[in-house]
Structure 1
């Protein structure tokens, strides 16, 4: 996440507060690995003698990768700002860990340019891929895609690839870029050259955050992370070749935006359980945003539904869940909240506000709002904290109980003004025995093993 968000939250006092939530928390875990109830924690965190990562007793970590060290492929250095991530099963028990790098034009270690894998040499973002054996030994580490910009989140596909999203809409000539940005790209962790560096232009050009794919029909749902007015939209992409496998999204399709009748701004809905029937999907007039950003385009006399800070997105059961991380009246939203989780059921055309987050004095609850999330082996969620102060990965079980599973121990500030790098990209191995997570600053990727179930 951007520094802007942390600064805004600090000024409003939200960064110092914990978060309480109301609503049907159990809704969040549809489709999770364990159908029964989930654990309420693993005990207190134990200080790490090495000063990197505090974990509960019985858990241990391995550092898989650090920014600035050589890539095993010899292509250059491990880039900065590791962010969204997913793990995919490979051959002979191997795991391919595909990792975003949310780099902008200057100031950090960029993803090395590689022939056949580079979209715009002026851009410093992209993905790297770690190949691990069954014991989390790193067998290889190489570039997955380069020359993209501000690769924040994304999501896995049913056919085993990663869709990496550019959280920018800068055009060629802006910030030194040679090509337009704001696209989604597909990355095959097993063979990055198979997917190359081809923008999936039909999926829209905007400030992408995350995606989720309906495994029944291949429809891709997309969130737009717009912090300032005009706020973002929630999209769906109808592919010409649904579930066609690697490369099929290049065949094109139709991009549509969600309209909730009578609700131009999702932030004004404050009551968990609020339900809206008859959700409409409106064709996007110009998916390439040649002249006008999509969220400002003319969607007809009924308009379109906006929301501030749309971020996390995942598929569970028969619905897609998406997150509005926060909203502020002073930014132009219709109301203030500290996080919403929405559930959309395509077969019913129904949208439900599942959970609402709000300020609390309980510092044990997850930092400002839901952000990077994943389903856990115990049937709950893992949530990455992103804010000021100590940084955690939290678990949330079906009862709504919140517990810390990891805490950053490396002080990147000073003894007088300590700081800790935020967590990002939490995900689990295909066999559910390892949690992988990134520390954004300094860029570090961890593998965490222990008694998950």
Structure 2
């Protein structure tokens, strides 16, 4: 395996980019768990499969698109910002594509849903926390330029349509596809909300204020517990959950109304964060203070701060999330009500993963982590804890990898370079965003 050691880039590169962009002319204007990463010495690890990507080879030289992949893999571009994904089409793909997900269609095709992380006035608070109230007020009166769009694929993988499903929002980062076939899109600003979108575009998107007002990064849904987990991308952000009321999500109902529930924040008990670096620690959930107000100004001092909450995924009751400020991957075990760190860049024996961001978990238990900065890689954490690079985008060091999602048959993986693009003289470098497809080898 070829190990790509970090180059020591600062995890603040995205914030520096935001600061530059904000003040530029166009910034505002226009059945049973398969995987347990819990290393409790008092009990053995649960037996796990080797993982889907356990046998992939080392990354090769950059291909024609500037992407390094293992032998047998190939890549293609499916959309470029400000260009029509469908030849001859009128819809131009959005800029700064970020979090994404896939929803299958009845005819064998699928939808790839993608957020547009365009900043706005609300990002004043992201850059300068003391200006958050001022930026929030401006954001209410100036519709954001972010949102979400869809690529529609035929069963053979051909892009047959592209269209917008959410407009007028700001800095849409990640979210998730719901079990009831909608898309939750998160606004990453201090008064940000979660918007529920219809991937077909037939029904207008709806804000879900019951899920709180904060710098939303990602969501994950636990149907069994009728709970939605949420990360907050803020230097002292919290790990949230929303627990539906009995009337909002009756037992046996296909979905919640997303109108009434309790917003709560996590508190690590036991030996706290330091203890979680070594073994699982018990947790408690505390009702959020003023749940209808911006959470960055209504902190419960008893709750545990997390340094820049990012990607999030619920895998059979094991809720994985990343914190970019300290380069850690956490797992909250809903079965035992514990939390621990399963990857820590500072102490790892194999620190090839930095700038941790979007997270996706395969049915086989591979945890795929996209880098915001770092080496612009997607790194796989196998069920046994081994790390392997899955791909690396070269020549776009000021961008980030995001939007990881698999086609329904698992053969194709979509991902984005948030700030990559074609260069006038050929090749690829800085730009307004590219959406890619990774084709996996037969039999993998």
Q: What TM-score, normalized by structure 2, do the two folds share?
A: 0.75
Q: Distance in 1 between matches of 2:348 and 2:303?
A: 36
| Residues 260-316 of structure 1: per-residue CA shift (max 9 Å, x gap) | 3467xx54445322321xx33222232221xxx4244264xx732222212222111
Helix, strand or coil for the counterpart of 1:93?
coil
2:373 to 377, 387, 395: 387
Instruction: Classify 1:216/1:361 alpha carbon distance in 2 versus 1 (closer, same or farther; 3 Å).
Output: closer
Q: 1:393 to 1:319 in 2, by over 3 A?
A: closer
Give the equivalent residue in structure 1 for 2:196: 186
Distance in structure 2 (CA, Å) of the matches to 1:217 and 1:405: 33
Any conservation in 1 of the 2:120–2:145 contact (CA below 8 Å)? yes
Shift of the 426–366 alpha-carbon distance from structure 1 to 2, 3 Å rule, reads farther
Segments of 5+ residues of structure 1 without an aligned counterpart are: 10-24, 107-118, 170-180, 328-337, 413-418
2:272 maps to 1:271: no
Q: In structure 2, do the counterparts of structure 1 residues 295 and 157 end up closer, same or farther at CA, with 3 Å as the change threshold?
A: same
Tell me, yes or no, if the aligned pair for 1:219 and 1:238 is still in contact at 8 Å: yes
- 1:49 & 1:221 partners in 2: Cα distance? 38
Q: Does 1:103 align with 2:118?
A: yes
1:131 to 1:295, Cα distance in 2 relative to 1, 3 A: same
Shift of 1:90: 0.9
Runs of at least 5 residues in structure 2 that lack an aligned partner in the other structure? 1-9, 17-33, 39-46, 122-139, 421-432
1:33-72, aligned counterparts within 5 Å?
36-38=49-51, 39-70=53-84, 72=86
User: 1:49, CA displacement in angstroms?
Assistant: 4.6
Provide TM-score, normalisation by structure 1: 0.74
Q: Is the 8 A contact 2:174 2:217 kept in 1?
A: yes
Rounded Cα–Cα distance in structure 2 between residues aligned with 1:441 and 1:376:
26
Query: Which of 319, 323, 344 is matched with 2:333 structurally?
Result: 344
Contact 1:372 1:424 (C-alpha < 8 Å) held by counterparts: yes
The alpha carbon displacement at 1:135 in A equals 2.0
| Partner SS state of residue 436, structure 2 | strand
Q: Is the 8 A contact 2:85 2:162 kept in 1?
A: yes
Cα displacement string for residues 377-408 of structure 1 (whole angstroms, at most 9, x for unaligned residues):
654122212225x4222222223222222121
Q: 4+ residue stretches of structure 1 with deviation over 4 A? A: 71-76, 243-246
* In structure 2, distance between residues paired with 1:431 and 1:28: 26
Q: CA RMSD in A?
A: 3.2
**Residues 441-450 or 85-94, more deviating:** 441-450
Q: Distance in 2 between matches of 1:368 and 1:238?
A: 32
Aligned to 1:423: 401
Contact 1:120 1:147 in 2 (8 A): no
- How far is the alpha carbon of 1:215 from its aligned partner? 2.0
2:127 counterpart residue number: none
Q: 1:356 to 1:404 in 2, by over 3 A?
A: closer
Q: Which of 266, 281, 284 pairs up with 1:280?
A: 284
1:355 is the counterpart of 2:368: no
8 Å contact 1:339–1:369 — kept in the other structure? no
Deviations along 1:404-449, one digit per CA (max 9) or x if unpaired, are 221213x25xxxxxx3632111111121111111111221111111
Equivalent positions of 1:256-335 (< 5 A) are: 256-261=264-269, 267-269=273-275, 271-276=277-282, 279-289=283-293, 293-297=294-298, 299=300, 303-327=302-326
| Preserved contact between residue 83 and residue 99 of structure 1 (Cα < 8 Å) | yes
After alignment, is 207-216 or 253-262 more displaced? 253-262
Q: CA deviation at 1:7?
A: 7.2
What count of residue pairs does the alignment treat as equivalent?
374
